[in-house]
Structure 1
Amino acid sequence: MNWIDIGTIDDIPERGARLVKTPVGCVAVFRTSGDEVFAASNSCPHKGGPLSEGIVHGNKVTCPLHNWVFSLETGEAQGADEGRIATYPIRIEDGRLLLDASALAAKDAA
């Protein structure tokens, strides 16, 4: 894995997200109320809604356009909706967020 430093956990609001531009594309980075972090595509497969502007609840995000809900762990749509968003390995090390750039290069980033 090729880890790149994208900032600190404090750069992401609790129960919120930020869009992060990386050398290999843009991703949405989400922070839960329990300080877990997840990285995923920023684009909802339904109508392309910006997921970084969605509502984070538990380990899920709701698209701000049409209320589709996605698991931040698996990327799968929840409930009656069908679809999936790409997810990317991310970790916290000494308060810094590290994103796996090799995984981004292997998938289409939003």
Structure 2
Amino acid sequence: MKTLALFPLCLPLAACVTPASPLPEGPARLGQTVYVDGPTVRPIAVIEDSRCPTDVVCVWAGRVVIRAEVGTGPGKREMTLTLGEPVPVADGALILAEVAPVARHTQPVKPADYRFTFKFAGGL
């Protein structure tokens, strides 16, 4: 009975709590911060996108290199990430796993169209 008597007093306090909106996961746009199984990542700029367009036959597949701000705990630092190459971060490795879309020879990718997917292989 005492529990029921206290319930109306707790209700106004519960209304004051504003839940923190979690960072999104998944593909990120340039300038968008995402959570990646531990660190946070914000792609800043595409330094190089030399991938072979989808409608062309190439001798070399090309690569994507981006500049990103990586946050671990209280600190943040800028890093260069290359598609498919792990980079040591905290107790694990951060990987730029996917970059979409792939250009066509007649239609290059606009900066606003890029989507970056990251993976983090953390330690114990």
TM-score by length of 1: 0.33
Task: Please say which structure displays the higher CA radius of gyration.
Answer: 2
Larger RCO: 1 or 2 (CA < 8 Å, sep 6+): 1
